[in-house]
Amino acid sequence: MQAIYIAIAASLLATTAYANDVDPNGFEKQHFVTSASRADVVADLKAAQKQGLISVGELGAKVVAEPSSKSRDQVAAEARVSKHVYGEVGDISE
């Protein structure tokens, strides 16, 4: 039985640990080559935004159609008595 423990200990000690190796696959040495100009990327982004393909957050873009008519105190009072939702799709807690 002790032989098993010795074999396990020896195998654990024989493995090399690279705790400080932040790039074990060598990605830092690879250079990025772009295939599109900045103007092309900006034009593609604007086209996608016009088509509604760009979403923000988990539920998509939230558009504010009109400014709020409530005072800061009214909003704070509503927040105190409301149920809280964590995240955009999170669980509701009381």
pLDDT at 86 exceeding the cut of 60: yes
Considering the entire predicted model, what is its pTM?
Answer: 0.33
Instruction: Tell me the DSSP string of the chain.
Output: -HHHHHHHHHHHHHS---TT-S-TT-GGGSPP--SS-HHHHHHHHHHHHHHT----SSS------S---S-HHHHHHHHHHSPEE-SSS--EE-
Q: Mean pLDDT highest for which of 20-29, 34-43, 52-61? A: 34-43
Domain coordinates of the chain in residue numbers?
23-66
CA distance 92 to 86: 7
Write the single-letter amino acid at 35.
S
Residue 59 contacts residue 90 (beta carbons within 8 Å): no
Write the single-letter amino acid at 1.
M
What would the pLDDT profile of 64-82 be if each residue is shown by its tens digit?
A: 678 889 999 998 998 888 8
